Amino acid sequence: QNDGLQAQQKSTDLNTGEVDHNIDEMRILARRQYLASREQLKLQVLQQELVFLEKDVEKYGWEQLTQKERDEITLKRELVALVQQREDAGKHGFKFQDDYIDENGSIDLNRKQQLLKRKPAQNGEKESRQKLWEDQQMKNAVRAASGAEEIYVEGSQGYDFVFDDEAMIEFTEDSNEDVLPEEHSEYDNKLLTELERENKRLLTIQETRKSLPVYHFRQELLTSIKENQILIVVGETGSGKTTQLPQYLVEDGYTQRGRYQIACTQPRRVAATSVAARVADEMNVVLGKQVGYSIRFEDKTTPDTTILKYMTDGMLLREFMTDPELSKYACIMIDEAHERTLATDVLLGLLKDILPHRKDLKLIISSATMNATKFSSFFYDAPIFNVPGRRFPVDIHYTLQPEANYLNAAVTTIFQIHTTQALPGDILVFLTGQEEIEAAQQSLEDIAHALGDKIKDMVIAPIYANLPQEQQSKIFQKTPQDCRKIVLATNIAETSLTIDGIKYVVDPGFVKENSYVPSTGMSQLLTVPCSRASVDQRAGRAGRVGPGKCFRIFTKWSYFHELEPLPKPEILRTNLSQVVLLLLSLGVTDLINFPLLDKPSIPALSKALENLYILGALNSKGVITRLGRMMCEFPCEPDFGKVIHTAATHESCKGALEEVVTIVAMLHETASIFVHARAERDQNKTAVVGKVSSDHMLYLRTFNSWRDMDYSKSWCFDHKVQYKTMVRVRNIRDQLWRCCDKLGLAALNEKAMKSLNVDENLEPRIIKSFIAGFPTNVARLSPTGYRTLGKSQGGVNVSIHPTSTVFQAARQDMKKPSKLILYQRLVLTSKEFMRDCMPVPREDWLQEMVPHYFNGDN
Ligand code: ADP
Ligand code: MG
């Protein structure tokens, strides 16, 4: 009788007027209402599950089932019957919680008032009500007894508590005719508004789900998946592949009530987190429970609960290390396969290997409309399922002549569109990265401010990989009336994220891409022209809601003559060390014959082996060493693993582990540590910690100052440091530290710290650790400036990036520049820049730390 008691309490409160007018409570109530209406959907799932279970019964016979399975089936049968009964009751004019909510989700206030004041139910009606309620209780009891938590109709409990109007009335009617005195109507109104909002949202979500192109092929897709181990699904961006397919698999019972998981990989972190949030919403569960995500340094899943996991392709790759058969998965969906990231390509190879042993594992490869046949032939001519999408025509406009400054041209174009084209119609602009996006946002705001009332309002919504998660949702929010949304995006919006309402695309046609030259061993992030396939995809984003327009900030000639037809797969343009190390650790020794869609060149492979040998991850026979295995354990590049390992173990470094781990963690987030990426930054930095000799030391001092202030938010604010980033760094640091702990490095370090006076020569220890990990990232001062130390090639001219503290120190103090500089990254903009620099004060440290590399001829 628990529910009755609660109801009584509630009404007493109403009588004494002690109702908590707390908005949170209303949210809870609204949530319950929402859950109750979700029941219908849950029923469908339940019914489907039951169909499968009944098949089991048919196949094996009741007697062959375990008691637990029998209980479960009995319970589900009862549940389905119960909900069916409720529905029937509804058909006979007896309605439940939604009496006062019509089919459109609007609320009839008078009706609600009437209902609340209604006399006790008629006898017949009451009886059936009573029976239903008892059934409900029985169901609860059975549930409690069988302990099978996963199978109850969510929300039904909450429903009885809040919306069992009759129950409420029965308790109060005798004593007080006027159950809801007038003074409560405000509360009631607020509640109803909340309810209305929740309901509208629910309806919109469900309608959107049903309106997606894949919905019409739901059954066909499920049948194809059932009949084939591997299926390639091709469809226009926005057709619902990413958000819907995994849900269909869940609904079809592939997780076997939580025994298995379904994974969906994404090339980008932002896509993984944002899609997971959306799907959790659609399934009406809390993100991180049944639906979660896993990206590097952030695992938002719950063991034994999560059944659907969105993750980066890199994370799934790492899972092969602990579970080479991927035994906990029933289905794997490799999404955005056309992106051809390194991790996706290697995953496909590994999956091709294990599929023959894991006959029950389903593999879905989903891709935008390019290149699907290549996947099919790689997987023994696996079938291709085409989801016909709708796409409205998009008018393409080119510039008449090449634009020297595409950023300015883009900003001008945005205002041209905004001032000449009617509303509604949002604009999507493709830029290459955070800095460019911030710059564009700044000039848009400045100009809009100057124009004032002369133009309509605009909302600017940036989206890029490092954008804090709370701000990401801005791109999905509905544009207010009489206003235009301008989304400034990296190529994450090319296919990974679907943004509704876009009518105009502005595309300068550039992308930031990793580029690696094996002969020099140099890796750099370059801004390069996109492929034709990419710019066509981008243009397509304008045609989702209706006919659209795409403004390309390059010439038609350039489109036909200068752009490559397809993007170059990452495996052909990146440093392969990490992947080679991973494959070796998985026991794949025949790298040449490992199945890959595109084979990397032999020089690229041998360079990777050479790098790994220099780091000590392989011995001279090419066999992985213990150190190599340790480096794999770290959730970061092998070079960083080596730095950390050195700081704990090397005679002239040990004792510096804590500091080195901090620096490594900070180096993972350098893009967004300091507020305002541009001009102001330079002053900020030194304001934080005073003079430092290198960017590495700057990062260390920044973190430690923050730590000493008890990780305070206001410290960050005062010092123009981004609090959210620092929280992430702290989290990365914790994870790296746990890894050090597990590998015994933390203990070694502790021992060293006891016997040494580490503080005295801390900085040399740090520098030496980094030399050990990045021996190939050293530049030497020559008469013409810095040159990298290329072993045989003689090196390349490079400069210190102006944002580096090393650059500023040299300028301000007129100090003699350091002869040797260790850098973390090379970036080519106006010239070749070294970022995150650290002077190496003594040349013999190079020989000391990496003797087999610096053997004198450099
Ligand atoms: P596909 O993977 O085929 O490109 P998606 O499954 O990503 O398609 O998108 C399907 C629909 O879901 C889109 O119409 C989009 O509007 C909606 N959607 C996806 N993510 C979100 C989100 N985070 N917020 C709101 N709507 C979203
Ligand atoms: Mg998608």
Give nearest CA residue, ligand 1 atom 25. Answer: 476
Q: Which of 204, 243, 470 to mutate to test the pocket of ligand 1 (most atoms within 8 A of CB)?
A: 243
Average pLDDT rounded to a whole number, residues 386-391: 83
Give nearest CA residue, ligand 1 atom 14. Answer: 238
Tell how far the Cα of 191 is from the centroid of ligand 1, in angstroms. Answer: 30
Share of the chain above pLDDT 70, in %: 77
Quote the pLDDT of residue 9: 37
Quote the pLDDT of residue 88: 57
* Both tokens assigned to 277: 């949030």
Quote the pLDDT of residue 6: 40
- The lowest-confidence range among 603-612, 721-730, 787-796, 818-827 is 787-796
Tell how far the Cα of 347 is from the centroid of ligand 2, in angstroms. Answer: 18
Amino acid at 141: A
Sequence-distant (6+) residues with CB within 8 A of 574 are 342, 514, 516, 523
Give nearest CA residue, ligand 1 atom 21. Answer: 278
Q: Looking at the CA of 337, which ligand is closest?
A: 2
Is the omega angle on the peptide bond into residue 246 within 30 degrees of 0, that is, cis? Answer: no
Q: What is the position in ligand 1's atom list of the atom closest to the CA of 214?
A: 3
Reported as a single tens digit per residue, the pLDDT across 519-574 is 766 777 788 999 999 999 999 999 988 899 999 999 999 999 999 999 999 999 99
Tell how far the Cα of 266 is from the centroid of ligand 2, in angstroms. Answer: 8
Quote the pLDDT of residue 416: 92
In terms of Cα–Cα distance, which of 170, 327, 168 is closest to 259? Answer: 327
| Dihedral angle sign, alpha carbons of residues 97, 102, 107, 110 | negative
Q: What is the position in ligand 1's atom list of the atom closest to the CA of 499?
A: 16
Top mean pLDDT of 124-128, 178-182, 599-603, 851-855 is at: 599-603
Average pLDDT rounded to a whole number, residues 600-617: 92
For ion ligand 2, residues whose CB falls within 5 Å:
241-242
- Based on C-alpha coordinates, what's the Rg of the chain? 31
Reported as a single tens digit per residue, the pLDDT across 310-341 is 999 999 999 999 999 999 999 999 999 999 99
Reported as a single tens digit per residue, the pLDDT across 448-505 is 999 888 889 999 999 998 787 778 888 888 899 889 999 999 999 998 888 889 999 9
Quote the pLDDT of residue 82: 64
DSSP assignment string, 200-242: HHHHHHHHHHHHSGGGGGHHHHHHHHHH-SEEEEEE-TTSSHH
* Whole-angstrom distance, CA of residue 97 vs CA of residue 132: 14
* Both tokens assigned to 686: 């030194």
Is residue 249 predicted with pLDDT exceeding 90? Answer: yes
Whether 585 and 624 have beta carbons less than 8 Å apart is answered as yes
Whether 671 and 815 have beta carbons less than 8 Å apart is answered as no
Number of neighbours of residue 791 by Cβ within 10 angstroms: 16
Give nearest CA residue, ligand 1 atom 18. Answer: 498
Pocket of ligand 1 (CB under 6 A): 212, 235, 237-244, 274-275, 278, 476, 498, 500
Give nearest CA residue, ligand 1 atom 17. Answer: 498
The 3-class secondary structure across 776-796, one letter per residue, is: CCEEEEECCEEEECCCCCCCC
Quote the pLDDT of residue 141: 46
Quote the pLDDT of residue 508: 95
Q: What is the position in ligand 1's atom list of the atom closest to the CA of 244?
A: 6
Average pLDDT rounded to a whole number, residues 843-857: 85
Quote the pLDDT of residue 706: 95
Higher pLDDT, 783 or 855: 783
In terms of Cα–Cα distance, which of 758, 766, 759, 760 is closest to 822? Answer: 766
The residue with tokens 């059954």 is: 219
Is residue 144 predicted with pLDDT exceeding 80? Answer: no
Average pLDDT rounded to a whole number, residues 220-245: 95
Separation in Å, CA 336 to CA 453, 483, 827? 42, 32, 27
Whether 237 and 537 have beta carbons less than 8 Å apart is answered as yes
Is residue 803 predicted with pLDDT exceeding 80? Answer: yes
Is residue 622 predicted with pLDDT exceeding 70? Answer: yes
Higher pLDDT, 498 or 86: 498
Tell how far the Cα of 673 is from the centroid of ligand 2, in angstroms. Answer: 30
Is residue 64 predicted with pLDDT exceeding 90? Answer: no
User: If pLDDT is split at 50, 70 and 90, which confidence band does 112 have?
Assistant: very low
* Whole-angstrom distance, CA of residue 370 vs CA of residue 378: 15
Quote the pLDDT of residue 165: 34
The pLDDT mean for the chain works out to: 80
| Dihedral angle sign, alpha carbons of residues 850, 853, 855, 858 | negative
Tell how far the Cα of 849 is from the centroid of ligand 1, in angstroms. Answer: 51
Tell how far the Cα of 493 is from the centroid of ligand 1, in angstroms. Answer: 11
Is residue 399 predicted with pLDDT exceeding 60? Answer: yes
DSSP 426: E
ipTM: 0.98
Q: Looking at the CA of 233, which ligand is closest?
A: 1
**Is 311 strand, coil or helix?**
strand
Give nearest CA residue, ligand 1 atom 19. Answer: 498
Quote the pLDDT of residue 712: 93
Quote the pLDDT of residue 626: 94
Reported as a single tens digit per residue, the pLDDT across 151-181 is 333 333 322 222 223 322 222 222 233 333 3
* Whole-angstrom distance, CA of residue 818 vs CA of residue 820: 6
Average pLDDT rounded to a whole number, residues 18-41: 48
Average pLDDT rounded to a whole number, residues 258-282: 93
Q: Looking at the CA of 279, which ligand is closest?
A: 1
Element (H, E) at 309: strand 308-312
Quote the pLDDT of residue 724: 85
Q: What is the position in ligand 1's atom list of the atom closest to the CA of 495?
A: 4
Quote the pLDDT of residue 11: 34
Tell how far the Cα of 106 is from the centroid of ligand 1, in angstroms. Answer: 26
Tell how far the Cα of 206 is from the centroid of ligand 1, in angstroms. Answer: 13
Tell how far the Cα of 385 is from the centroid of ligand 1, in angstroms. Answer: 19
pTM of the prediction? 0.73
Is residue 855 predicted with pLDDT exceeding 70? Answer: yes
Give nearest CA residue, ligand 1 atom 16. Answer: 500
Tell how far the Cα of 278 is from the centroid of ligand 1, in angstroms. Answer: 8
DSSP 324: T
Whether 538 and 550 have beta carbons less than 8 Å apart is answered as yes
* Both tokens assigned to 537: 């995809």
Q: Which of 498, 502, 538, 541 to mutate to test the pocket of ligand 1 (most atoms within 8 A of CB)?
A: 498
Q: What is the position in ligand 1's atom list of the atom closest to the CA of 544?
A: 14
**Is 658 strand, coil or helix?**
helix
Tell how far the Cα of 265 is from the centroid of ligand 2, in angstroms. Answer: 10
In terms of Cα–Cα distance, which of 119, 117, 109 is closest to 185? Answer: 109
